Chain A
Amino acid sequence: MLVSTFTLGDLYLGINILLVREINRSMECTPVPGAPDYIRGMLNIRGRVITLFDLKRRLGWSDDEVEPGGGEGSPAKRKRYNVIMKTRHEVMRINQNLAETKCPWEDPVGLVVDQLGDVRDIVDDNILPPPANLRRISADFIHGVVEFERSLLVILDVANVLGLGHDYAE
């Protein structure tokens, strides 16, 4: 399985690349009034309106962790990236099984992350269940972890991150 990786604070995260549509530099988006705080806003890319999730807030991080350095670098200046997800419809055209099991969302969504990583090829047998001592991310959001020499790659369960896991499973 190919995994697109990125960082969120000191977390090393990965998403199945087949679920990713594209990656962009973070840009100004339109806030959604009344939405939960982890909804950063709406973004228009080439005519498609995308709902942006602030992944840090979604993981329940504090304000300090969301904006490390205490506002010293303005959000506009801080480099962030948007990981835009494929829709269920798009995934379906590539991998029907994947779409049915892992991709319940019908509308275009994106996740805001800190730094971009590489693309890693993960052997499925190396994917382990999340360890009990893992902090800063709920086990619900984790598909599995892969150990590397120095770090632990956390593969996200995007459906759960987007809050669609249970609805979809039932």
Chain B
Amino acid sequence: MNEELHALAGEIRAELHREVDNLREELLQVRKLVQDAILKLTESFSGIRDQANSQHVLVTSLTSSMDAGDAVDPDGVDAEAPPPAPAEAHPHGGTGSGESQGKRINIRQFVAETDGILRTFVDHIILVSRQSMEMVHRVDDLSAQMQEVVALLKDVNAIAEQTNVLALNARIVAARAGQAGAPFSVVAGEVRKLAKSSNQFSDKIRGVVTKSQQDIEAAKGIIEIMASKDMSFAIESKGRVDDMMAEVSEIDRFTAITLTEVSRITDALNHSVGVAVMSLQFEDMVTQLTGSIENKLAIVESVMDGLSEPPSIEPTEIIPHLRLHLEAQKERFDEVDRRAVRQTSMDEGDIELF
């Protein structure tokens, strides 16, 4: 009977050992599966975080390239930001892309320079007008002097006419003297010719003066075109430049807001990824829990082994012996449980993110 019991116990023990071994095997598989899953998840989260960071860098570099040299990038990524690789798009246009990288177009600067050019342009127009008006004054003076010349020519004509009448009267007087007056008549005739050429001369001068007056009027016409510029263009252009300035400021403001938002989103994403990665560190716990299970299995085995002690012990001894054995194994269980409990709570601060 006793031996029979022993044999049965041996069979049960063998069967239990096999089952415990299977459990160990499955525990190992669970641990491996969890490990693999955690590895892959961690890699994925790292990838997400890297891509979020790249995205942030790209957005920052994009806005800073629109506004280069003006504002210092708050995240300092401007300098390290990879150029948006225009060289790839133009493999042969090396010089062009090099320049555009070295001197990026800045809208604010562009508008400011446009404003400056407009101002210079307006100043120039006014300077030309001022000089033109001064020229007109000189030309008017010249014209007035020409009028004086014409007035003087009238006096010359009057003198010539008087001379003419005088010469004619001289010839009348000479005619009365008959032959004796002939030489005097010749002189009078010459005087009359002089008066006539004087008249022709002043007629020519008058012709020249008239032509000059016409030229002066034509010159005034040209000066008028030079001097007279409608200024409304300047007002309109100035208004447009001011509008552009306001728009640029609005774009700047919007860009700053967007950039801040992108930074915030990236930070939040990083944090979430960190939390996720940290959460994945339950691998240790799984390992410890499975370890604990293994330990317990070992205890279960030893309990079983104790139950099937060789029958050297007296039957009366068996009960206390087993009780003693059970007590010892209970203590080992408790010990294993205590160690396991310490690992169930995770302190976030201790998690090292990778």
Contact = CB atoms under 8 A, between A and B. Distances in A.
Nearest to A21: B172
Interface string A40-73: 0000000000000000000000000000000000
Contact of A18 (B162, B168, B175, B189): B175
Interface in B125-182: 161-162, 164-165, 168-169, 171-172, 175-176
Interface residues of A, number: 16
Interface in A7-57: 17-18, 20-25
Contacts of B171: 2, 4, 17, 119
B192 A17 contact: no
A94 interface: yes
Q: Is the interface of A mostly helix, strand, loop or mixed?
A: strand
Contact of A24 (B165, B189, B192): B165
Contact of A20 (B165, B172, B192): B172
A118 interface: yes
Contact of B172 (A17, A25, A81, A118): A17
A23 B176 contact: no
Nearest to B166: A23
A116 B175 contact: no
Contact of A25 (B165, B176, B189, B192): B165
Q: Is the interface of B mostly helix, strand, loop or mixed?
A: helix
Nearest to B162: A25
Nearest to B178: A94
A23 B192 contact: no
A152 B58 CA distance: 108
A25 B185 CA distance: 21
Interface in A101-158: 116, 118-119
Nearest to A16: B175
Contacts of B165: 23-25, 81, 116
Nearest to A3: B175
A79 B162 CA distance: 12
B164 A116 contact: yes
A94 B180 CA distance: 13
11 contacts: A2-B171, A2-B175, A17-B171, A18-B176, A21-B172, A22-B172, A23-B168, A116-B168, A119-B171, A119-B185, A119-B189
Given A17-B171, A119-B185, 20 more contacts: A2-B171, A4-B168, A4-B171, A4-B172, A17-B172, A17-B175, A18-B175, A23-B165, A23-B168, A24-B165, A25-B161, A79-B161, A94-B176, A116-B164, A116-B165, A116-B168, A118-B192, A119-B171, A119-B175, A119-B189
Interface of A: 2, 4, 17-18, 20-25, 79, 81, 94, 116, 118-119
